[in-house]
Amino acid sequence: MDREANVSGILSETVDVIGGAGRAVLIYVLVLGLFSGFGGLFGLVSMDEGLFSARWIGGGIDTQTAGLFQGLFGVGNVVLFVIASYFLLVQMMQSLGRSMTAGARFWSFVGMSIIAVIGVGIGFVLLIIPGIIVMVRWSAANGYLLGGEHSITDSLGASWEATKGHGWSIFGAGLLLTIGVAVLNSIIVGVVLGTGLATGGGGLASPMFALGVTLSSFVEAFGNAVNFAFSMAVFHLVAPADTSVADVFE
């Protein structure tokens, strides 16, 4: 491999993955950003302590009905996120030139995602550090699963073994990416809301505030895309394409 699985190598590979699947990333960000932004604008999602929820209630819709709308929108948001994320990962895998077996592995992806969320959640309950360790060591699991040669548990196990010795590099690169996306979101929303306040139109129902929420939704969607690109970059670096499955466990 040309790159090593160190901080700079992982960050460079992540950028390459985003660029290689640029069209898919753009579609992903637009679809999820527009959907989430729509929910924020019309009070269908809980944002900033439910500030937008009052818009529905104040518009003649009672609390119970507003809660039903929010619940349905939340389910739809999760379903859209999972489906869009799977297809984005497939495009990223293909952009890397990695082999994939015939047939979709969507339900395996759903199952592994649920297990990963539970595992990481339990880890964070146990004083946070175990959760970070699990996140780092399972970061390459998406690539193993999409390759089609591993089951759900085998993908998690293969990622755990392959990332051995690269934990600090993966953690460092992931932390830098997380900070970068957070700063980007703060800058965009801050500039928009600051402009609204400076022009006297920064109220909660103002166009500038609505624009800030919408832009924040796009940044959040882009952050998710970056996280997936990061996971594929880690996989690509710790599991060389010419290495057999058996070699990973040696």
pLDDT at 232 > cutoff 90: yes
pLDDT at 167 > cutoff 90: yes
Question: Which tokens is 246 given?
Answer: 């058996």
By percentage, how much of the chain surpasses pLDDT 90?
A: 47
Read off the pLDDT band of 229 (50, 70, 90): very high
- For 214-236, what is the mean pLDDT? 91
- State residue 245's pLDDT score: 40
Read off the pLDDT band of 250 (50, 70, 90): very low
With contact defined as beta carbons under 8 Å apart, do 113 and 105 qualify?
no
pLDDT at 191 > cutoff 80: no
pLDDT at 248 > cutoff 50: no
* Alpha helices for 138-239 (secondary structure H): 141-147, 152-162, 167-198, 207-238
Tell me the domain boundaries of the chain: 7-248
CB atoms within 10 A of CB 184: 14
pLDDT tens-digit series, residues 53-63: 334 444 455 56
> How many helices (H) does the chain have, and how many strands (E)?
11, 0
Between 190 and 226, the higher pLDDT residue: 226
- State residue 137's pLDDT score: 96
Between 56 and 133, the higher pLDDT residue: 133
- For 182-202, what is the mean pLDDT? 67
pLDDT at 220 > cutoff 80: yes
Distance CA 8, CA 150 (A): 29
- For 102-125, what is the mean pLDDT? 87
pLDDT at 169 > cutoff 50: yes
pLDDT tens-digit series, residues 60-79: 555 666 667 777 887 888 89
With contact defined as beta carbons under 8 Å apart, do 141 and 116 qualify?
yes
- State residue 53's pLDDT score: 39
